[in-house]
Chain A
Amino acid sequence: MANVGDMVVGYATDENVRSRGASGGLVTAVLAAALEKGLVENVVVMKHINEFEAVPIITDNVEEVLASTGSLHSVPVNLAKYAVGRKVAMPAKPCDVQAVIEQGKREMIDLDNTYIVGLNCGGSMHPITTKKMLVEMYDIDPEDVIGEEIEKGKLIFKTKNGEEKAIAIDELEEAGFGRRESCRFCTLKIPVNADLACGNWGVIGDMAGNATFCQVMNEKGAKLLENAIEAGRIEVQPASDKAIAIRDKVNSVMEDLGSYLEKEIFPEIPDEERMQYYMDQMENCIDCGACKEVCPVCACGEDSKCTMFHSLVDNYKMSMYHLVRFMHLSDSCIACGQCSDVCPSDIPITLLQSRFSIPSQRRRNYQPGMNLDTPPFFEVMLK
């Protein structure tokens, strides 16, 4: 029996899934079991193309779910919008979970029917930057890479001929590579807002590398885990106190690093220079609207204020589109970095947006996408 608050270490019973999974294949097995037993109609997974490319698929085929096993650090896609209007189970980084809950608040996703298996996340990388980094820093041909791993602050790449090369993440980030900027100042590393919080932190001893630490966060999580045990897809055992302590330690180290880097990434700009700063940053905007299209917390649909009420021919000093977005997202932005990733003009929109949303959220002591207790701020209840 699985109860809320349980912490277990588990792995997939299927040897094939276990060996191919990043850490025991527990997540894959849980998702497959949820689909098999009819808990959900579909599962959202990433279909691998290669180490740097994968496409999200919505599938009802158990084989496809099992084939998706294994981690991908350099495909930073947010899956939240794939859950809209469906009864799905999905693996999710902490920021995906936040986005799903924000969508749930805006009644786009039925959270009672959406099962979220959260994954610990120390940060993801942009595929183009990673390829460039492999050539320049690691001296490895990107085509030869068969796996990557983050261990003790080092990023390790494995190649086809069995070689491993590790470089410290700090060093990579100083050289302008490494994790995406939005991941560097992120402080949500364990998805405590998901139904199950899974990851390899706290897996010790002979289990290291082939088992997953899993915390049951709520009733839905308990149902998911129990379902997978009943289906015979996973085996679990209670986590030891030592394992729990190690997981907490890794988490607090990562969180501290996040808060430390936040100060470096957002240097204070004097009041009188800020307007010019924003104008300079956005002067290359071509008004394509991709940042809105990809935003996982935006629930506005096609006809929205930001896109409908401005025109480039007005030749304003600043685009109405961005002004509306800066304000509209100041309570809900989760700084997932999707907008910076897709921007064809390479405008760091996430960083600009965060300058508005982080202080705004701090002032209200509010973190978006954590629970359903706080309604969206612009929704004032009628008395």
Chain B
Amino acid sequence: MMTDKEWTPKIVAFCCNWCSYGGADTAGMGRFQQPASTRVIRVMCSGRIDPLHVFNAFLEGADAVLVTGCHIGDCHYVNGNEKTEVRYQFLEEMLQQLGLEPDRLHLNWISASEGERFANFIKDVTAKVKELGPSPLKPAGVK
């Protein structure tokens, strides 16, 4: 039963196919421990992540959303992650103005070899969100 256990946040992580998804893989292969709080969604490029996807994740009950991709300059589609960055700035400002805690949305560049960095990132975010509690946008009835 869920009630017996400690509440764990649900975190949606958008990972780009070439870097951060590989990073998540490396974290697993390197046996770096991380909380089982993330739901990874693979996209071909972080430039594919529309603010709409982030809004939808929050509205469907995500406690935090992570936008991850290749390091700037490493994008496999020339400059997809630069577009993400521009969009992310607006998204961040908008969600902050809306009243969502800044710790619920993160942007991070993780390469395919940075397994430890990925695991640590998930650990940090999970700890922070655990303190914040469930998202105010979570619909009633969603755990």
Kindly identify, within residues 306 to 322 of chain A, every residue whose CB is under 8 Å from any CB belonging to chain B.
309, 314-318, 320
Provided the pairs A317-B137, A327-B91, A360-B93 are in contact, do residues A309 and B52 lie with their beta carbons within 8 angstroms? yes
14 new A-B contacts, CB < 8 A, other than A278-B98, A328-B51, are A272-B99, A276-B99, A277-B99, A317-B138, A317-B139, A327-B90, A330-B94, A356-B94, A356-B98, A360-B90, A363-B93, A378-B86, A380-B83, A383-B78
Task: Indicate if B100 sits at the interface (CB-CB under 8 A).
Answer: yes
Question: Once bound together, how far apart are the Cα atoms of A276 and B136, in whole Å?
Answer: 9
Question: Once bound together, how far apart are the Cα atoms of A380 and B137, in whole Å?
Answer: 31
Question: Once bound together, how far apart are the Cα atoms of A278 and B94, in whole Å?
Answer: 12
Task: Indicate if A273 sits at the interface (CB-CB under 8 A).
Answer: yes
- B3 surroundings in chain A (CB, below 8 A): none
Kindly identify, within residues 120 to 143 of chain B, every residue whose CB is under 8 Å from any CB belonging to chain A.
136-139
Question: Once bound together, how far apart are the Cα atoms of A324 and B90, in whole Å?
Answer: 11
What is the size, in residues, of chain A's interface with B at 8 Å between Cβ atoms?
A: 33
Task: Indicate if A355 sits at the interface (CB-CB under 8 A).
Answer: yes
Nearest chain A CB to B52 CB, angstrom units: 6
Question: Once bound together, how far apart are the Cα atoms of A377 and B88, in whole Å?
Answer: 12
Q: For residue B136, which residue of chain A has the nearest CB? A: A275
Nearest chain B CB to A324 CB, angstrom units: 6
Q: Mark B54-66, 1 if CB is under 8 A from A, else 0.
A: 0110010000000
Q: In the complex, are the beta carbons of B79 and A380 less than 8 A apart? A: yes
Q: In the complex, are the beta carbons of A377 and B86 less than 8 A apart? A: yes
Task: Indicate if B82 sits at the interface (CB-CB under 8 A).
Answer: yes
- A309 surroundings in chain B (CB, below 8 A): 52, 56
Task: Indicate if B48 sits at the interface (CB-CB under 8 A).
Answer: no
Identify B51's interface contact among A316, A318, A327, CB under 8 A: A327
> B interface, how many residues as a size bin?
20 to 34
Task: Indicate if A274 sits at the interface (CB-CB under 8 A).
Answer: yes
Q: For residue B86, which residue of chain A has the nearest CB? A: A380
Classify the secondary structure of A's interface with B.
Answer: helix
Task: Indicate if B103 sits at the interface (CB-CB under 8 A).
Answer: no
Question: Once bound together, how far apart are the Cα atoms of A247 and B98, in whole Å?
Answer: 40
Nearest chain B CB to A338 CB, angstrom units: 21
Q: In the complex, are the beta carbons of B94 and A271 less than 8 A apart? A: no
User: Total A-B residue pairs with C-beta atoms closer than 8 Å?
Assistant: 77
Provided the pairs A326-B98, A383-B79 are in contact, do residues A318 and B50 lie with their beta carbons within 8 angstroms? no
Kindly identify, within residues 73 to 103 of chain B, every residue whose CB is under 8 Å from any CB belonging to chain A.
78-79, 82-83, 86-87, 90-91, 93-94, 97-101
Q: For residue A360, which residue of chain B has the nearest CB? A: B93
Task: Indicate if A49 sits at the interface (CB-CB under 8 A).
Answer: no
Task: Indicate if A359 sits at the interface (CB-CB under 8 A).
Answer: yes
Task: Indicate if A255 sits at the interface (CB-CB under 8 A).
Answer: no
- A175 surroundings in chain B (CB, below 8 A): none
Task: Indicate if A305 sits at the interface (CB-CB under 8 A).
Answer: yes
Provided the pairs A317-B59, A330-B90 are in contact, do residues A382 and B78 lie with their beta carbons within 8 angstroms? yes
A-B CB proximity, top 6 nearest:
A274-B99, A275-B99, A316-B59, A327-B94, A323-B55, A380-B83
Q: For residue B53, which residue of chain A has the nearest CB? A: A309
Q: In the complex, are the beta carbons of A273 and B94 less than 8 A apart? A: no
Q: In the complex, are the beta carbons of B59 and A318 less than 8 A apart? A: yes
Question: Once bound together, how far apart are the Cα atoms of A309 and B60, in whole Å?
Answer: 13
Residue from B93, B99, B101 with most neighbouring chain A CB atoms (10 Å): B99
Task: Indicate if A341 sits at the interface (CB-CB under 8 A).
Answer: no
Q: In the complex, are the beta carbons of A273 and B139 less than 8 A apart? A: no
Q: In the complex, are the beta carbons of B86 and A356 less than 8 A apart? A: no
Q: In the complex, are the beta carbons of B91 and A278 less than 8 A apart? A: no
Q: For residue A315, which residue of chain B has the nearest CB? A: B139
- Of the A-B pairs whose beta carbons lie under 8 Å apart in the complex, a sample of 27, sorted by A's number, is A271-B99, A273-B99, A274-B97, A275-B136, A275-B137, A277-B99, A316-B139, A317-B137, A317-B139, A318-B59, A320-B59, A323-B98, A324-B52, A327-B90, A327-B94, A330-B94, A331-B90, A356-B98, A359-B93, A360-B90, A360-B93, A363-B93, A378-B87, A378-B90, A380-B82, A380-B83, A383-B79
